[in-house]
Each structure stands twice: as structure tokens, then as C-alpha cells.
Structure 1
């Protein structure tokens, strides 16, 4: 992920509902969630949630699959790894032992 893509991702995450949605989808894992389920879980109107999910998808943080008339959303782990990779690109000036606790925390063993 380059600097402009990262700025777009951070912009998308800088709104409370969108940040909550990404965290919810990370928790949902590979099952993802239908748009209505996300809306209900976060207590947000469906049309507002749809707009927020669109912003997150455009930023590369979530992805979606159409299931008939419904849409199922998933965390985009490649996009999230890209964002973390951008942040950690020059980690600790070559002292990897300083970064290891952070890396261990991020790599949850899932």
C-alpha cells in the first residue's frame, strides 16, 4: 500500500461508524456479515450504513459479495495487512527485536 492509499484508508477509518464496522467485520471472520446484520449490530440506519460500507470498500478495507438481493461484507485482510505494512515498513531502524512484541500481538494465530 502506498502513501495515498494509506491516507484514503485512514480517512475512511476516521469516522466512528466506519471504524466500528471494520472491527465488527474482523470479528466476524470468514463468515462475514450481511449489510442488514451490520446495520442492526451497530444501530445505524441501513441507508447510512450502506454509504459507510461503500467508503470502506473503496478504501480497500472491506470487500463484498452479492448474494441475490443481499450483499455480504467481509474484512479485506490483504488491505488491512497492506495498511499495517505501510506503517511498519521501516520498523525500528533495523532493530527487529523492538518490533516483535507488536508483530506477535497483531498475528493472533488465526
Structure 2
């Protein structure tokens, strides 16, 4: 959705995936990693999440456009998509106070 105005369905999907406590914890950890991302193994170790469970939750974040993965040799990295996160925030703020009269 990057570069285009976010629609209601896309925003709802992103917020739904972030609404799960484990996925939110994973995403918060990914956001700390910066644009280079973090190896999946480090996330698993730091958050003490079983591999299959972590994979399931990361897949959900990927499907919402919030995370991408890339491989460097044998290491799989998760990279947060800050642009998409910003679009979700912008979507929520877009009409802030628009129904109130000014002045």
C-alpha cells in the first residue's frame, strides 16, 4: 500500500494483526531493529517464542504488509515496513477533529 492513500480494508487488516499481543510484541521488537531488520532466530530467542508459533505470527504480519523478509546466506531477516506503519498512523489521524467547528 506504500505510496498510495491507505484504504479502510488495508488499515483494518494491519490493525487486526497488531491487535494480537504476541504479534504486537514481535512487531515492537522488529521496530527497534531499524531498517536492517533482525534475524528471526534473535527474535525467537529474545521473546522466547517457539519457532512454529513465531513463523505463524510473522506470516500474519507479512500478509498485512507490516513486515518483509530477506535471506542473507542461511540467516532469515525480518524487516519492519516503517512506511506502512506510518500510513496506518496517518490513516487514523487523517480526519482528526474534522467534525468539529473551528474557532
> Is TM > 0.5 for Structure 1 vs Structure 2?
yes
State the Cα deviation string for residues 26-74 of structure 1 (Å, max 9, x = none): 1111231111111111110111101100100110111111222321011
Residue 88 of structure 1 corresponds to which residue in structure 2?
93
Unaligned runs of 5+ in 1: 96-110
Greater share of helix: 1
What's the C-alpha RMSD, in Å, of the aligned pairs?
1.6
Find 2:68's aligned residue among 63, 71, 81: 63
Equivalent pairs counted in the alignment come to 95
Query: What is the rounded CA distance, in whole Å, between the counterparts of 2:72 and 2:32 in structure 1?
Result: 21
TM-score for both structures, normalised by structure 2: 0.84
Runs of 4+ in 1 over 4 A off after TM superposition: none
Unaligned runs of 5+ in 2: 1-5
